[in-house]
Amino acid sequence: MKKLRWQLLIIFLTGLVVGILLLNEKPDAPGVVVPEPQQGGVYSEALVGKFQRLNPVLDFYNSADRDLNRLIFSRMISFEERGIPKLELVETYGISQDGTIYNITLRPEVKWHDGKTLTSNDILFTINMIRDGEGVVPEDIRTFWTNVDVKILSENTVQFRLPEPFAPFLDYLSFGILPEHLLGNLSFDQMIDSGFNLQPIGSGPYSFEGLITENNQIQGVILRANQNYFETPPLIEQMVFRYFENSTDALKAFQDGLVQGISKIDNSILGNVLTQPQLALYTAREPRLTLIFLNLKNSEVSFFQDVNIRKALLSGLNRQKMIDKILNSQAIIADGPILPGTWAYYDGITTVEFNQLNALQLIKEAGYVLGGENSTVRAKDNIELRFELLYPDNEIHREMAVMIQQNWEALGAAVEIRGVPYSELIESYLNPRSYQAVLIDLDLSWTPDPDPYPFWDQVQATGGQNYSQWDNFVASDYLEQARITTNLIDRSLFYRNFQVVFEEELPAIPLFYPVYNFAVSKQIQGVTIGPLFDTSDRFMTVKNWYIIGPRPEITSTQVTENDDGSE
């Protein structure tokens, strides 16, 4: 039921949180006085990206919008850093014995920012908008909700009937809720052009206060703490976001004193950020995995069916060097298909170190030898270790492919590398299974539930996303049982067993998970971060942020700047 959102596959892929919190002092250090959290003040951030629409049903392809929508709009269910469901708008929920019916009861005290009560009608309205969002909402999400029957049982109770048991269902309740009383008379197309998207009304911890404009262009957004928030209101009174095209411009804005934080630190400014004494860098594992799919059913590369060959290819890859040289050390070596730091990850999996001698031994044990004195390619029964590795046609992936080629040719394999445009790579090679090996990135954003079924279950080998065409009954049984089991402990055992089988069989070559960096002034305290499922997760604990030292003045509700910078 859950598919990969290929539109969001990016060229950079995705462990556990890598070093967080470069705090200037430890709270428990001798002689250090820890300041008490204080209410009030302003936090200003350089947001890398562009403003489009502040509407959670329209933000799937704009991370800058999603960051703000996370603050403005509430969700039925959110997820803590390990991917465990956390009730937000939902007060209680129940699941039928067969796992096909979910009844949720909303908190009765939740108010929209305009004072109206949030009800079941708002839930159904938002879902209907998702269903109608062709071309705007990812197709897999639209299809999912088309197959779910949603019924209002009372003002505060909603029932969801699924066509079959599906344990990851709570994932699909983590969207921002829209106000039916303000948008209920609009079609989806009308909502796209609605003024609501410029002056949104939500029910989240922050409410919309105003826009910052320059020459009739939106340059920023001002939010104010929602003092009527159904949970504890945020400590920081006002959040000001200013848009910048890239991280370099965002860093300059910090150096010029215009902002206190930078939403994204890319490799181009990482070194400079680390030299800024007043900036604290926060780092977390992204929900992305870079790996190499091997076509296990392609007769031209039958040697991929030999597990010793697959293990040799992994052991013969210097993944750490790839991370250090190409990704500026901003990634974590991957051990398997489930994101580390989550409840489903099994930490008993062994990290395979780079070991060419071990790789060569495995290849020899598989019977592949050099054909003669001048031969550089190993073969067995006249079948050479010769294959093509496809990769997304961009510079980063080209550099990766070149290093992979060098590593594997040192083992006696002949590897031809070829860059292919991303859309063609998916439609012409992966979908029809007409490839030999392919370097690819999986984007697992917005899916806190691990559910690796789409990529590895034998049912998905034809027509699904099991591109390696791995046909393992035992692994598939674990995945299928985990999908229909709602008990988290039982599910974690199924996933542990699946990961053990994956480690033994190695149907694909996991490479690494990238990390996400952002920076905040050390004047802002209470900031914590765990593994991300979306960049907006950096605001997971925003209610606890507070300011120490001098505080900037509150920004006026509407700021309009002219060409000369005057207001």
- Burial of 169 by CB count in 10 Å (0-12 exposed, 13-18 middle, 19+ buried)? buried
* Residue-by-residue pLDDT tens, the chain, 567 positions: 444 433 333 333 333 333 333 333 344 444 545 678 889 999 999 999 999 999 999 999 999 999 999 999 999 999 998 999 999 999 999 999 999 999 999 999 999 999 999 999 999 999 999 999 999 999 999 999 999 999 999 999 999 999 999 999 999 999 999 999 999 999 999 999 999 999 999 999 999 999 999 999 999 999 999 999 999 999 999 999 999 999 999 999 999 999 999 999 999 999 999 999 999 999 999 999 999 999 999 999 999 999 999 999 999 999 999 999 999 999 999 999 999 999 999 999 999 999 999 999 999 999 999 977 788 999 999 999 999 999 999 999 999 999 999 999 999 999 999 999 999 999 999 999 999 999 999 999 888 999 999 999 999 999 899 999 999 999 999 999 999 999 999 999 999 999 999 999 999 999 999 999 999 999 999 999 989 999 999 999 999 999 998 776 666 655 544 344 444
**Dihedral angle over CA of 393, 397, 400, 405, nearest 10:** -20
Residue 386: phi and psi, rounded to 5, are: -130, 125
The closest alpha carbon to 288, from 447, 116, 154, belongs to 447
Residues 6+ apart with CB under 8 A from 135: none
Burial of 28 (0-12, 13-18, 19+ CB in 10 A): exposed
Contact 517, 205 (CB under 8 A): no
What pTM was computed for the model? 0.89
Which of 64, 15, 46, 44 lies closest to 518 in space, CA to CA? 46
Q: In this structure, what are the phi and psi dihedrals at residue 250, rounded to the nearest 5 degrees?
A: -65, -40
Indicate the domain borders of the chain: 288-515
Cα 271 off chain centre by: 24
CATH class of 288-515: alpha beta
Q: Are 162 and 102 in contact (CB under 8 A)?
A: yes
Helices (H), 276-426: 307-315, 319-326, 356-365, 395-409, 422-424
Q: At what angle do helices 247-255 and 267-274 cross, to 10 degrees?
A: 20
Which DSSP state fits 494? H
457 token code pair: 């279950």
What is the pLDDT at residue 10? 33
The position carrying tokens 């007769």 is 299
CB 333 within 8 A of CB 351: yes
CA gap 282, 279 in Å, rounded: 10
Element holding 282 (H helix, E strand): strand 279-285
Q: What is the DSSP string of 379-415?
A: EETTEESEEEEEEESSHHHHHHHHHHHHHHHTTT-EE
DSSP classification of residue 352: P
Q: Determine the Cα–Cα distance for residues 90 and 157; give it in Å rounded to an integer.
A: 9
CA 9 to chain CA mean position, Å: 10
Cβ distance 330 to 317 under 8 Å?
A: no
The DSSP H or E segment spanning 86 is strand 85-87
Say what the pLDDT of residue 550 is: 75
CA–CA separation, 204 vs 74, rounded Å?
A: 5
**Exposure b/e, 434-456, CB count within 10 A at least 16 = b:** ebbbbbbbbbbbbbbbbbbbbbb
Q: What is the pLDDT of residue 35?
A: 73
Give the count of alpha carbons within 13 A of 92, CB side only. 1
